[in-house]
Chain A
């Protein structure tokens, strides 16, 4: 399966290449090893996005206990890279949003994390500008109005009765700092931006995201595994330790944060490119979030997570061999 490769064929490509080169140059002062193949690659920003060596170095730096401070070099690099306004370089920053958001939300209560906040605010500001602060709404269809997909083309009902207008993402006001009451919203908007580019994100980034969902939920969802809990209590201590670790990162999950999380999870579970590791991680995340929403008795969250869980199961049960576009096989061909 091939990924889409954005081609840099326009005249501005030279400018963009020099931007990428200086970004890679700056990165070489932060991580220990920068593979030389990166600069010589025909599309260095894409190579940067997918390079496993660079990714693992940046990831482990982001996960270090002292990461995310205001004077952190890596955060500065991420901030500058995003501000370069080169869309391909911005993808590189977005690739790390799961880890940044994950570490940030789980740790912000104990620490001041100005570095992470700067990156998140940059994303928030970008989204605010590109949407002109406007809310994203959905006009929920009503089948009594004719639509482009109706079989009968005659308008069924002329009078325009009220339609259900739903706000998917409320309007955005500019924020210069992360006020704690807006924290969930700012991270949520950063995740909305991540979701809008998710088809270009490497699998590893999505897996990181799913793993943090389990931490945020703070709830073990193994009892919702297909066939229940099989290997229950292999060793009591490790299980409770795992539980403990999971619980420590538990955070409040208001809808403004949970909604973009669920959209991303939907992609990870049901998206067009199938990947075993990803769908396992996404299923685990769904199970945990389902358990959490039951503990919170949050009806909307229960409905959404439960439908994802069921879809995951239906996917497993479905007969993948059947292909309706294949010709029927027969012993006899008759012309």
Chain B
């Protein structure tokens, strides 16, 4: 009875290690004598001295010699020794003894001993082949090495028909099998045979090799990395391994993500130890697919103590913000920026400021984050100063929208422009900044400067970004340069693919309305509807939940636009048809109630009109057009209603300070009340605004 043991404790740092002793069958001998013979090239003599010294048979002695040579670092010598054994014949001999174990009626102990003996023999032979493969690998003969390694696996599969059972397997044999399973794909990979490597990985992971958790995790990670980065597309797994109802990856990314998620799960379950790179690979893979919300879920499952909590919060904030869930993201950032956590983290401050800059109610908070960010841009972070200033400018501009007094609004607006301009020297080539300056100047009604920025943005982007064209058209329309605006729209349509022409066509229709060309406008609306229908056909009825289609035409908006146009022409029947179409798409909306009210008013049904407007306000208390219309209606009802009218219109102006219709009716209210000076001011404001009124509000474009 021979058995193999090994001591792991002594590993030299000097690389190759000299073996001191070999032991077998209760005998022991020093290796110096054998090694001397090997050095002289006398394999036969070395072999016979081992056979005599340890009473071994030929194969055992050869296997031992090979291992001795391998471990001494003499891989060429090891190869010569292994070549002397007919390993294939040895494998052939192994099989019958194993098939006996399939007859369960025989004496238990006899079979067990038989199995152990055969397993020992198998272990010896397989280790020899394995070491041969390793020797070939070290010599750079990778394809040959892969073939040797494959023969180990083939032999194991022939010996164990139903996979390796996890009991009754000699630990030595199992170790060789595991190593061979792990080495096999690695060899093909090193040999540059990527398709073979793919199938080797699959074979390793989809057959029963009884691998331990760490070994299996290493192979899974190796395969995931290979799938993610090799650039070679794997064929889908064979039908044989596919199970009914189970998930089968169809491409590299799916398979890599699946493996990495399984690895993460093994880590939580404590089956294998934490490996930071697994999380990084998963982050990379999921962000490539824009699935950062899935990534957030994975991060939330990571056990406490692995990441610092602030790091985790910030990464989660990035994930949620990337998935469009900005309020969740902001909550996480608030936690991490708390004074007891990491109040000076630049990335968190900047992201928080950016999120706040998109909401007028949060903008004031964002100003604080941006200011903290700016004061933290020292040393190597100096290059962020411009980003901080830019965010500060955007937050101030947004904050001005929510301010209650004119004076404060004006102050915030000019402050915003100042900060954006301060950012320019730092972010000279940042095109977003140029665009934002254009929008801010336009909102400030400094149209000539705004025009310059809009043109610069278009030049610098080569007209590749549609919002640049839209801004230019809106600025030109505010300057009442309609024909130029139309020419720009046509130029923009020319460089824009059909699919993305929606917003431009919408502008064009509005331009036509402003030019009092209703029939042309209706024609443009028709092409918008055609586009909407084409998009619906190819993209499906509704925009997908996770991926927002910016290019998609809003069909509701189009029908509503046509309806408004018809009702302005008093074509009530046509208007009604269009409203019906719009209602099919969205049943309850302020716009529809607004349009209905206009229709009632047109028919002289004042009470019904008023009811419709008030319903609209109940739906959205901040809906400015209805506030103005109610004001206008009440104005006609006599002096008792004047205070209500004034408060409605002032409210409208608080929300939209540049709404000329609000100024106009407020002027009317003052006039009817006898305050002529106030009325004059309001009319003047309305008239100035009319001269600089864009066809769409400037802030709609940011």
Asked if A171 CB lies within 8 Å of chain B CBs, one says yes
**Cβ distance A117 to chain B, nearest Cβ, rounded Å:** 12
**Distance from B202 Cβ to chain A, minimum over Cβ atoms (Å):** 9
Interchain pairs with CB closer than 8 A, number: 301
Q: Pick the contact of A141 from B21, B67, B247 — CB < 8 Å?
A: B247
Q: How far is the CA of A328 from the CA of B178 in the complex (A)?
A: 14
Closest A residue to B504 by CB, please name it: A181
> Are A333 and B67 touching (Cβ within 8 A)?
yes
Q: Which of B284, B432, B459, B463 is most buried by chain A, counting CB atoms within 10 A of its CB?
A: B284
Q: How far is the CB of A255 from chain B (nearest CB, A)?
A: 7
Partner of B463, one of A153, A165, A180, A199: A180
Q: Point out the residues of chain A lying under 8 angstroms from B347, CB to CB.
A: 294, 302
Contact with B along A192-211 (1 / 0, CB 8 A): 00011111000000000000
B residues near A303, Cβ cutoff 8 Å = 283, 287, 292, 295, 315, 318-319, 322
Given A150-B246, A295-B430, A302-B347, residue A273 in contact with residue B294 (CB < 8 A):
no
B584 in the interface (beta carbon within 8 A): no
Q: Is B569 an interface residue (CB 8 A)?
A: no
Contact A252 B295 (CB under 8 A): no
Assess the A324–B215 pair: CB atoms within 8 A.
Answer: yes
Which residue from chain A places its CB closest to the CB of B461 in the assembled complex? A252
**B289 surroundings in chain A (CB, below 8 A):** 138, 140, 166, 168
Is there contact, CB below 8 Å, between A149 and B318?
Answer: no
Q: Does A266 contact B (CB under 8 A)?
A: yes
Question: Does B246 contact A146, Cβ atoms closer than 8 Å?
Answer: yes
What string of 1s and 0s marks CB contacts (under 8 Å) between A321-335 and chain B? 000111111111111
Set of chain B residues within 8 Å of A196, measured between Cβ atoms:
231, 233
- The segment from A39-47, A68-76, A307-315 found at the interface with B is A307-315
**Which chain A residue lies CB-closest to B17?**
A329
Interface residues in B523-545 (C-beta closer than 8 Å to A): 538, 544
Is B228 located at the chain interface by the 8 A CB criterion? Answer: yes
Are B2 and A335 in contact, CB atoms less than 8 angstroms apart? yes
A85-108 interface with B by 8 A CB criterion: 108
Beyond A300-B322, A307-B283, whether A330 also contacts B192 by CB under 8 A is: no
Q: How far is the CA of A24 from the CA of B391 in the complex (A)?
A: 55
Among B375-392, those with CB < 8 Å from A are: 380-381, 383-384, 386-387, 391
> B64 in the interface, Cβ–Cβ < 8 Å?
yes
B527 to chain A, nearest CB (A): 17
Given A138-B253, A272-B230, A299-B318; A182-B497 close (CB under 8 Å): yes
In the assembled complex, the Cα of A158 lies from the Cα of B245 at a distance in Å of 7
Shortest distance in angstroms between A139's beta carbon and chain B's nearest beta carbon?
6
Whole-angstrom CA separation of A259 from B286 in the bound complex: 12
Interface size range of chain B in the complex: 35 or more
For A199, the chain B residues whose CB sits under 8 A away are 194, 230-232
B2-26 interface bits toward A, Cβ cutoff 8 Å, 1 = contact, 0 = none: 1111111011100001111111110
Closest chain B residue to A325 by CB distance? B183
CA distance A196 to B232 in the complex (A): 7
Which residue of B is nearest A297, CB measured? B354
Q: Which residues of chain A have C-beta atoms less than 8 A from B10's C-beta? A: 330-331
Say whether A146 contacts B243, CB under 8 Å: yes
Q: Which residues on the B side are within 8 Å of A329 (C-beta)? A: 11-12, 17, 71
Q: Does B640 contact A (CB under 8 A)?
A: no
Q: Which residues of A contact B428 (CB under 8 A)?
A: 247
Residues of A within 8 A of B284 (CB): 262, 266, 304, 307-308, 311
Contact of B206 among A148, A175, A296 (CB under 8 A): A148
On whether the beta carbons of A179 and B495 are closer than 8 Å, the reply is yes
- Do A4 and B23 have beta carbons less than 8 Å apart? no
Q: Does B547 contact A (CB under 8 A)?
A: yes
Cα A320 to Cα B143 in complex, Å, equals 22
Asked whether A19 is an interface residue with its Cβ less than 8 Å from the other chain, the reply is: no
Chain B 442-474 interface 0/1 with A at a Cβ cutoff of 8 Å (1 = within) = 000000000000000001111111100000000
Chain A contacts with B in 284-301, Cβ cutoff 8 A: 291, 294-297, 299-301
Q: Which residues of B contact A234 (CB under 8 A)?
A: none
Query: Chain B 324-368, CB within 8 Å of chain A: the 1/0 string?
Result: 000001000000000000000001001100100000000000000
B218 contacts across to A, CB distance below 8 A:
324
Interface residues of B in 214-265 (CB under 8 A from A): 215, 218, 220, 225-226, 228-233, 237, 241-251, 253-254, 257-259, 261-262, 265
A324 vs B193: C-alpha distance when bound (angstroms)? 21
Asked whether A245 is an interface residue with its Cβ less than 8 Å from the other chain, the reply is: no
Which of A196, A291, A326: most chain B Cβ within 10 A? A326
For A248, what are the chain B residues with a Cβ–Cβ distance below 8 Å?
429
B71 (CB) vs chain A CBs: closest residue: A329
Find out whether the CB atom of B253 lies under 8 angstroms from the CB atom of A168. Answer: yes
> How would residues 1 to 17 of chain A score, 1 for a CB under 8 Å from any chain B CB and 0 otherwise?
11110000000000000
A304 touches B288 (CB 8 A): yes
- Chain B residues near A165 (CB-CB < 8 A): 544, 546
Of the candidates B231, B391, B497, the one whose C-beta lies within 8 Å of that of A198 is B231
Residues of A within 8 A of B155 (CB): none
Are A109's CB and B462's CB within 8 A? yes
Report Cα–Cα, A98/B451, bound state, in Å.
36
Does chain B have a CB within 8 A of A223? Answer: yes
The answer to whether the Cβ of A270 comes within 8 Å of any Cβ in the partner chain is yes
CB-contacts of A219-272 with B (<8 A): 219-220, 223, 228-229, 247-248, 250, 252, 255, 259, 262-263, 266-267, 269-272
Q: How far is the CA of A320 from the CA of B253 in the complex (A)?
A: 26
Q: Is the CB of B277 within 8 A of A327?
A: no
Which one of B25, B142, B248, B497 contacts A147 once the chains associate, using CB atoms below 8 Å? Answer: B248
Residue-wise, chain B 679-698 has the 8 Å CB interface mask toward A (1 for contact) of 00000000000000000000
Known: A141-B254, A149-B259, A273-B192. A331 touches B350 (CB 8 A): no
* Alpha-carbon gap, A173 to B386, bound state (A): 39
Report how far A269 CA is from B229 CA in the complex, Å.
8
- CA distance in complex: A155, B20 (Å): 53
- Complex Cα distance, B601 from A234, in Å, reads 76
Sample (18) of A-B pairs whose CB atoms are under 8 Å apart: A2-B142, A138-B289, A140-B289, A165-B544, A166-B547, A219-B383, A248-B429, A267-B231, A272-B230, A303-B283, A325-B134, A328-B8, A331-B10, A331-B20, A332-B23, A333-B6, A333-B64, A334-B4
Contacts A140-B257, A149-B205 supplied; 19 other A-B pairs, CB < 8 Å: A3-B192, A147-B248, A148-B206, A148-B247, A175-B497, A180-B461, A197-B231, A220-B383, A228-B380, A269-B229, A273-B192, A295-B387, A324-B182, A325-B179, A326-B134, A331-B7, A331-B20, A333-B67, A334-B23
The 4 closest A-B pairs by CB, nearest first: A335-B24, A299-B322, A198-B231, A166-B289
